[in-house]
Structure 1
């Protein structure tokens, strides 16, 4: 069996965008890559709006399978995806790096959250297809 790439989704607090990306990676692309997430800092719990909307939209309960963690908890990473945090992310060894430039929906309306979730879904699907095709 060929090596399944490890994709790490990273943002500052590992509480919202990176957590949703990890969950969608597991939900939509587990056959192509292994999803994980981390931040440069942690928070006590994942963003409750992210948890609620991911459960509502996809039936995914992030509180049961995920928690906020720091970069040192990541396995060796093949693909590093930063969320667009407007901070300098630490360098992690990887074969490929992308910045998705997503706005943080924390504290914003459900409509804005849904837009970010939809953008993450499209980007996860595109990444899945790219990795499946060896790009």
Structure 2
């Protein structure tokens, strides 16, 4: 059974959504990806949607929506917080880490592209760490 990874942020509209999409696309063979927040937005950040479509060909609006922590499956194995500091919600898990990403909302496309690239790199690293057993030792 694949471990469940939850990408968590306050609003679940930008960074955590990008991480869920990239987790599914790049590491779906190793772990299940979910995202959620303590609050939701009516729509996923439209700049994030556009950038993910242009760089990765992923239409987040077709398969994802803003979700609350309560919508996550039970027994999440890994919780990744995006960098929301003291506002980050707590979820029980076997492993937890914070990626410390600044929210690109309201900034230029370059900020969104950089955020997507950092998330891509971190998702790939996470995949490797789970495959090698580094995370659960």
Say whether the fold is shared (TM-score over 0.5): yes
Per the TM alignment, residue 90 of structure 1 is displaced from its structure 2 partner at its CA by 2.6
Please give the root-mean-square deviation of Cα atoms over the aligned residues, in Å. Answer: 0.7
How many residues align structurally? 133
Is the 2:10–2:87 contact (alpha carbons within 8 Å) kept by the matching residues of 1? no
CA distance in 2, matches of 1:43, 1:69: 8
Segments of 4+ moved more than 6 angstroms: none
Alignment map for 1:17-28 (pairs within 5 Å): 17-28=15-26
Alignment map for 1:84-103 (pairs within 5 Å): 84-103=83-102
CA distance in 2, matches of 1:52, 1:88: 27
Q: Normalising by the residue count of structure 1, what TM-score does the alignment of the two structures yield? A: 0.96
CA distance in 1, matches of 2:123, 2:84: 18
| 1:5-37, Cα deviation, whole Å (9 max, x unpaired) | 000000000000000000000000000000000
Q: Structure 1: any 5+ residue segments left out of the alignment?
A: none
Per the TM alignment, residue 89 of structure 1 is displaced from its structure 2 partner at its CA by 2.2
Residue of structure 2 equivalent to 1:72: 70
Q: Structure 2: any 5+ residue segments left out of the alignment?
A: none
Q: Normalising by the residue count of structure 2, what TM-score does the alignment of the two structures yield? A: 0.95
| 1:21-55, Cα deviation, whole Å (9 max, x unpaired) | 00000000000000000000000000000000000
CA distance in 1, matches of 2:119, 2:58: 15
